[in-house]
Amino acid sequence: PFTAELCIHLTLLFFCLKEKSQDCMYLQYCKVCQSYKAPRSHHCRKCNRCVMKMDHHCPWINNCCGYQNHASFTLFLLLAPLGCIHASFIFIMTMYTQLYNRISFGWSSVKIDMSAAKRDPRPIIPFGLSAFAASLFALGLALGTTIAVGMLFIIQMKVILTNKTSIESWIEEKAKDRIQYYQTGETFIFPYDMGSKWKNFRQVFTWSGIPEGDGLDWPVRDGCHQYSLTIEQLKQKADKRVRSVRYRAIEDYSGVCCPVTKGVKTFFTTPCTEEPRIALSKGDLILATRGLKHWMYGEKILISAADGGIRERGWFPRNCVEKYQYDSETDQPVDGEKKIK
């Protein structure tokens, strides 16, 4: 069937054909979608597809924030706190007007009569103790939402004014770390920053509501080209493969979020992320790329991976694995060496 995903794949195929053949080597290939990814595109595990100019996957809207809806999502982050501020004002005024005639002040005490209003006529909607508690609780939720969502709006505006996404900001930080680690002397310049906050703003917000461009070709600053960011991503992936460490599972792990049998510290320090956990069986090989004190993140080495098998990546407890010493040329374990945990 002619689906939206198929349409995107055909568009990317046309994108590769219309460019020079050597340019296609700079595009990243998605093994899940079995297609090339356009610049600034990333694969979303939740949506199970590649998203143009992906910023993040939002569980509250059950969708990805990307090229098509970045402006709408940002407006949502603005209007939600404004609505909560309006609701907070209503709750505050309601409690003030209802409590005004119920409070009596003494020399050393303050009394609040919640039984009935001391005024005539009586209110149409009774305001008792339960209504007061509900209004106070709703006020707390409204203020909390205003602060939390308002901070997300500020973060989004910061990346929009530099014409970046949250993922691209993270890529830029890793580029600086890579250059500093290897002392290459190169300078990474983010290619899509137009140098003007207004021009960057106009890349997302337009009067028509339709973002500029087609999601494939992007205007770049002087000294950069369409694949500057993609080339940096390929360098980071190559660096990650070089710096990754191979481990072997010494215990079974079911893949639960908070394993009870792996220790108290492992249970309470589980990563607070939507990234999956991978189940391990004794003897499995894992290529770890990053980790915490009690957890590690990596990819399980599958025998069928060379045949197009689905990659299994996720978190697993550190105490379930040990370093695997092997010969890089023969890919065989080294005999006579004690394994290091």
User: Which two tokens mark 262?
Assistant: 């792996």
10 Å Cβ neighbour count for 109?
7
Question: Taken in order 280, 328, 293, 296, is the CA torsion positive or negative?
Answer: negative
62 φ, ψ (degrees, to nearest 5): 55, 45
Active centre residues (catalytic): 58
CA angle 87, 90, 94 (to 5 degrees): 140
- Smallest Cα–Cα separation from 296: which of 309, 287, 305? 287
Which residue type sits at 207? W
Distances from the Cα of 122 to the Cα of 101, 114, 118, 126, angstroms:
12, 13, 8, 8
Which helix (H) or strand (E) is 51 found in, with range?
Answer: strand 49-51
User: Encoding tokens for residue 140?
Assistant: 């707390």
| Strand 35-37 versus strand 28-30 pairing type | antiparallel
φ and ψ of 50, to 5 deg: -85, 140
- DSSP per residue, 287-299: EEEEE-SSEEEEE
